[in-house]
Amino acid sequence: MKFFRLILVFALLFSMSGCSFKYNPADYNASTIQNEIETAGIGKSSFIEIDNLNMHFIESGEGDPIILIHGWLCWGAFWKKVTPSLSENFHVYALDLIGHGLSDKPVDDNFSYSTEAQARRVVEFMKKKAITNAVIVGHSMGGEIAAKTAIMAPDRVNAAVLICAAGMKDNPQSLPSFIRIARAMHLEPIIALFFSEPAIRQFTQELMFYGENAMPEEFVKDVVLANLTGKNAKKAVYKVTVEGLFKDFLNERCAEMKTKTLVISATDDLIVPPAMGREYNSLLPDSTYMEFDKAGHMLPWERPKDVSRAILAFCGR
């Protein structure tokens, strides 16, 4: 049933690909988006050079560092529903991974968007900011990157929180199947159909939010601007999709992750089902598991207060 549901969504992408945008990326640039971030009180918008590239991040609060890593089709502002409470207890760094948001979006053939490469860039960020005792939080693809960061730099990561985290090999859900088919057939024009506003609306509402939780208009705007603004935007997201999404797996590496970890899943997650969170929990040496009902893949948007409380409680705050 889920496979046929995906086929329906996929068919709709074709029919909607010519529809107009409500949010025209041409009306936005880095400066206007930075201004919106700071005007909305999300935090201070800044850049740092990583591997000769500009990485954007949003900074707020004081205290011990907590690093927030978004997933596919998102950016640092994805966390804005949870950062107010976190910033009362931590110095928050919400990153735009390279290829996302306001960060640079290289599309050279030899540039890697693998989750391993992204984790290495997070470690480099911590080195440049002299961060040695961070809590690292990741959602979806960002959860996989957070786990790999903790494995790479255990001396810099005190604790990890994996929310609806990708990275388990046996994920049976529809999105990974579609992405694998598209990658195998080298269907760049087909994948590119995702990157129109109507397609993003349909896809996220159908598969990423729980049925009772209406997808906020604000979320659509953020996803559109995060992915379609800037030079090489669509090509970069295509490379991220091909190279970084549901490709490298952690099943056999979880034993290397000695960091204490909170694994959070959503009962109605259609992208990364709770079975994947339970598998993480069974494989990680020092982990705690939580599962929220009546929520889908976008848990930090659907249940932000619960997510914030869970993170703070896990960190003893």
Q: Summarize pLDDT for 125-138 with one digit per residue, the tens.
A: 999 999 999 999 99
- CATH number for 282: 3.40.50.1820
Q: Residue 216: CB partners within 8 Å, gap ≥ 6?
A: 301
The domain tally of the chain equals 1
- Determine which of 96-100, 211-215, 253-257, 272-276 has the lowest per-residue pLDDT on average: 211-215
Whole-model pTM: value is: 0.88
**What CA–CA distance (Å, rounded) separates 220 from 213?**
14
Q: Range of 25's domain?
A: 2-314
Using alpha carbons, select from 236, 226, 235, 237 the residue that is nearest to residue 25: 226
Using alpha carbons, select from 290, 283, 286 the residue that is nearest to residue 261: 286
Q: Tell me the two tokens of residue 153.
A: 């730099």
Residue 18 has pLDDT above 70, yes or no: no
Residue 55 has pLDDT above 80, yes or no: yes
Q: Residue 131: CB partners within 8 Å, gap ≥ 6?
A: 65, 67, 93, 125, 156
* pLDDT-based confidence at residue 38 (cuts at 50, 70, 90): confident
Would you state the pLDDT for residue 8? 43
Would you state the pLDDT for residue 282? 94
Confirm if 40 and 84 have CB atoms less than 8 A apart.
no
Would you state the pLDDT for residue 146? 98
CA distances for 3 relative to 7, 202, 204, 207, angstroms: 6, 16, 16, 12
Would you state the pLDDT for residue 73? 81
Q: Residue 52: CB partners within 8 Å, gap ≥ 6?
A: none
**At 237, which amino acid appears?**
V
Spatial strand order of the sheet with 260-266 comes to 44-50, 53-60, 91-95, 65-69, 134-139, 157-163, 260-266, 287-292
pLDDT digits (tens, 9 = 90+) for 71-88: 988 999 999 999 999 999
Torsion of CA 301, 306, 307, 312, to 10 degrees: 150
Work out the mean pLDDT of the chain and round it to a whole number.
84
Q: What number is the average pLDDT over the span 156-180? A: 76
**What CA–CA distance (Å, rounded) separates 207 from 269?**
8
Of the two residues 77 and 17, the one the predictor is more confident about is 77
